[in-house]
Amino acid sequence: MSKNDHDKSLSTLLSDWQVSPSTETHFRQDVWNRIGQRQKKSAWSGYLRAHAATAASFAIFATIAGGVTGYAQARDQSQERREAMATAYVQSIDMSAQLARR
């Protein structure tokens, strides 16, 4: 087979070849949806990276403030209860105080 004959048969074969792709009706919409979802996911992390120093400062401040407040409140309550119970205890071993309470 000569080169010309080979080209001719290839041309015939290619001209007879038909592709019938499956039709995806929502292909375009699906692509945009996926792009949108990816953008949503990356948007906050991108924002956080852009404001890392400020966000970290506020986070550290909030953690310290929360911890100090929690500790102080627990200590105050504890002290208040201790005062009340110590008074109740002294009264419990003192007869006249018990009589006075009746």
Partner 1 sequence: MKNLLITAGIIVALCGFSYGSFYALSRDSAEVRLAVKTGDAMEWLRSEFHLTDEQYADIQSMHDDYYVECSIHCAGIMAAQEEGKSAEEVARLETICESAMAEHCRSVAAVMNPSNGARYLKIVMPRIADYDHHEAPSLQINR
Which residues here bind partner 1, judged by CB under 8 A?
43-44, 47-48, 51, 55, 58-59, 62-71, 73-75, 77-78, 81-82, 84-96, 99-100, 102
d(CA 9, CA 24): 34
In single-letter form, the type of residue at position 77 comes to Q
Question: Around 23, how many Cα atoms within 13 Å sit in the side-chain half-sphere?
Answer: 1
Closer by beta carbon to partner 1, 24 or else 80: 80
Closer by beta carbon to partner 1, 32 or else 89: 89
Closer by beta carbon to partner 1, 32 or else 58: 58
d(CA 28, CA 34): 10
Closest among 82, 81, 89 to 98, alpha carbons compared: 89
Question: Around 65, how many Cα atoms within 13 Å sit in the side-chain half-sphere?
Answer: 6
Closest CB 67 distance from partner 1, rounded Å? 4
Closest CB 21 distance from partner 1, rounded Å? 39
Closest CB 33 distance from partner 1, rounded Å? 19
